[in-house]
Amino acid sequence: MSRLVAVSNRVADPRNAAAGGLAVALGETLNATGGLWFGWSGRVVETAQGGTPGEGELHLQHAGDVTLATVDLSREDHDAYYLGYSNGVLWPVFHYRVDLADFDAGHLNVYRRVNQLFARKLAPLLRPDDMIWIHDYHLIPLAAELRAMGCGQRIGFFLHIPLPPPPILTTIPQHEWLMRALFAYDLIGFQSQADLEHFARYAQSEAGAEPMGDHRYRAFHRTVRAQAFPIGIDVDEFVSLGKGHEAQETYEMMMAQYARRRLLLGVDRMDYSKGLPERLKAFQALLAQYPENRSSATLIQIAAPSRESVDAYADLRRQLEGMSGAINGEYGELDWMPIRYIHRTTSRRRLPGLCRAARVALVTPLRDGMNLVAKEYIAAQDPDDPGVLVLSRFAGAAEQLKEALLVNPYDIQGTAQAIQQALHMPLAERQSRHQKLLENIRAQDVHWWSREYLRSLAESDQG
Ligand code: ADQ
C-alpha cells in the first residue's frame, strides 16, 4: 500500500480520536502507511521570519508513526489567503451567497502564492509512490502547483463544501482558472450527487469536456475522475463517547431540567450558511401558531464562534442576539424561556448527551456540503425512544437521510409545521425512521468514506 500524504488547511494529531473530523477519517490509513499530514500550523507570524515575505517555517513533528508537517504563515498571507479569498470569495459563492462575496479585494494573488509556498514545502517531502489526498477549498490549486514542480504522483482532491451550478460558479471572475486547476488532480470527490452534477455541467458547458465513461472527464489536456463520496461519522466512536461520564452527566442534567418540557436542539458553527435566523423564525412561528408549545418547547441553540473577523459573521452574531432576545421577550415566562442561545463551543464529550436528551434536532442550513451534526444526532439516540431529525433539503446529508423530516428552510411556515409534526410523532414512527437512518449512517460511515475514496484514487488513471 502506498504511503498516504494528507494535506488540509489544518492538521490534527490522528491519535486524538476525540478530535473527530479528519483525524478520525484519515488516522487509520495514515497510521497503517506511516503517512505524512501536511498543512498550515495555525500560527501567524507578524514579521516574515528571515526570508521572502510569506516564506513560512516548516515544522516536523511525530505522532506515533505519522509525521505532521506544518508551515507558519505571515499575517499578510494568512489574512488574504484564509480570510480574504478562501472565506471571503470561495466560501460564500460555493454556498450560493454571491451577495456576500468580495471579488474586488484582490486576494487571489496571495491565495495562489500560499498554495505555491505549500507546494514548495511539501514537494521535497514526497516519495515517488506516495498517494496524495488534498482537502477542501483553501487548496484547490495545490495539485497544479505540485505538477508544475514535476510531481507525477497520484493526487486526489475532496471538496467538503458544496459546488454550485455553473450560473453561480461563473460569478467568480477566476472560475476558469480554478476549474482548470481541478483538472490537475486524478480524482475529485464531492459530498453529493448534486455537486457532482454541477461539476459535470460546468465541465461540459464551460470547458468543452467530454464525459468519457467510468466517471471520467477530459478537458484542459487532462483526464480527471469525479465521483460523489458522502462523508460520514465514526458511529461507534460517537456511541462510545455517549457512554462516557461527561455525556451521561449532560444527559441527566438535561432530563432533570426539562422533564416536563420538550427540548429542541441546534448545534452549529456560527455561519450564515447554517440558516440560523430562519431557524429562529420557524421556532417563533411554531410558538405563534401552535400555542400548546408555549411554556413547553425550549430551543437550545449552540452557535460556536467562527471567523469572527469576517464582517458577515459579526453581522450574523448581532442578528442572532437581537432575534433570540426579542423572541424570549415576547414569549418568555417567569419560569420558562423559549430560546437558550449559547455563543460558545460545546465540548465534544458532552455533545452525545445533549443530542440524546433532545426530542427534536433542527439541522436546517440554507446550504451545506454534508452536515455531520445530523448524523451525530442520529447516532446519539436511544433506539427505543428516539428523537426526530428535522433536516434541510439543502444539506448534502438530505440525499442519504430520506427518513428525516425534510424541510425547505426558507419556508418558515413549512418548517414550523415540520417541527410540530416532529414534536408529536408517534413512537412507532420515530422508531422505524430512526432505525433506517441509523442503518444508513452505519453503512456509509467515515471509514467507508476514506476506504472508498482511496480505492478510487488508487484505481484512477493518471493524467
Ligand atoms: P462544518 O461547516 O464545520 O464542516 P458540520 O459538518 O456541521 O460543519 O460540523 C463539523 C463538526 O463540528 C461536527 O463534528 C460537529 O459536531 C462539530 N460542531 C459544529 N458546531 C459545533 C458546536 N457549536 N459545538 C461543538 N461542536 C460543533 C464542513 C462542511 C460540512 C461537512 C464537514 C465535513 O461545511 O458540510 O459536513 O465539513 O466534511
In this structure, the number of other CB atoms found within 10 A of the CB of residue 236 comes to 12
> Distance from the CA of 196 to the center of ligand 1, in angstroms?
21
Based on the domain organization, do 218 and 316 belong to the same domain?
Answer: no
| Residue 283 grid coordinates | 421556532
Based on the domain organization, do 43 and 122 belong to the same domain?
Answer: yes
Given the residues 107, 138, 160, 434, select the one marked as catalytic: 160
Query: Best mutation site among 238, 268, 269 for ligand 1, i.e. most ligand atoms within 8 A of its Cβ?
Result: 269
Protein residue closest via CA to atom 8 of ligand 1 = 371
Cβ neighbours for 54, distance < 8 A, ≥ 6 positions apart: 48, 73, 74, 76, 77, 110, 113, 114, 117
- Annotate 346-390 with DSSP letters as a single string: PPTTTHHHHHHH-SEEEE--SSBS--HHHHHHHHHS-TTS--EEE
Based on the domain organization, do 403 and 288 belong to the same domain?
Answer: yes
- Annotate 244-263 with DSSP letters as a single string: SHHHHHHHHHHHHHTTTSEE
Query: Best mutation site among 373, 400, 453 for ligand 1, i.e. most ligand atoms within 8 A of its Cβ?
Result: 373
Atom of ligand 1 nearest to the CA of 363: 7
368 is catalytic: yes
Protein residue closest via CA to atom 9 of ligand 1 = 372
62 is catalytic: no
pLDDT of residue 56: 78
What total number of domains does the chain contain?
2
Based on the domain organization, do 90 and 227 belong to the same domain?
Answer: yes
Based on the domain organization, do 240 and 203 belong to the same domain?
Answer: no
> Distance from the CA of 332 to the center of ligand 1, in angstroms?
30
Residue 12 has, within 13 A of its CA and on its CB side, a CA count of: 14
Query: Best mutation site among 137, 372, 453 for ligand 1, i.e. most ligand atoms within 8 A of its Cβ?
Result: 372
pLDDT of residue 307: 85
pLDDT tens-place string over residues 391-426: 999 999 999 999 999 999 999 999 999 999 999 999
Protein residue closest via CA to atom 21 of ligand 1 = 268
> Distance from the CA of 292 to the center of ligand 1, in angstroms?
33
> Distance from the CA of 368 to the center of ligand 1, in angstroms?
10
Based on the domain organization, do 269 and 241 belong to the same domain?
Answer: yes
Based on the domain organization, do 55 and 83 belong to the same domain?
Answer: yes
Based on the domain organization, do 184 and 166 belong to the same domain?
Answer: yes
Given the residues 72, 268, 368, 445, select the one marked as catalytic: 368
Protein residue closest via CA to atom 10 of ligand 1 = 372
Based on the domain organization, do 416 and 453 belong to the same domain?
Answer: no
Protein residue closest via CA to atom 3 of ligand 1 = 269
Based on the domain organization, do 352 and 271 belong to the same domain?
Answer: yes
> Distance from the CA of 347 to the center of ligand 1, in angstroms?
13
| CB-defined site of ligand 1, < 6 Å | 20, 160-161, 231, 267-269, 302, 304, 345-346, 351, 368-373, 376
Host domain of residue 9: 4-232+446-459
pTM across the whole model: 0.96
pLDDT of residue 54: 47
Based on the domain organization, do 193 and 262 belong to the same domain?
Answer: no
CA–CA distance, 463 with 461 (Å, rounded to integer): 6
pLDDT per residue, tens digit, the chain (463 aa), is: 899 999 999 998 888 766 667 888 898 899 999 999 999 999 999 865 555 554 678 999 999 999 999 999 999 999 999 999 999 999 999 999 999 999 977 899 999 999 999 999 999 999 999 999 999 999 999 999 999 999 999 999 999 999 999 999 999 999 999 999 999 999 999 999 999 999 999 999 999 988 788 899 999 999 999 999 999 999 999 999 999 999 999 999 999 988 888 999 999 999 999 999 999 999 999 999 999 999 999 999 999 998 888 888 888 999 999 999 999 999 999 999 999 999 999 999 999 999 999 999 999 999 999 999 999 999 999 999 999 999 999 999 999 999 999 999 999 999 999 999 999 999 999 999 999 999 999 999 999 999 999 999 999 877 6
In what side-by-side order are the strands of the sheet with 405-407?
339-342, 297-304, 262-269, 360-363, 388-392, 405-407
Based on the domain organization, do 26 and 162 belong to the same domain?
Answer: yes
Domain CATH number, residue 106:
3.40.50.2000
> Distance from the CA of 302 to the center of ligand 1, in angstroms?
12
Q: What is the SS3 assignment for 166?
A: helix
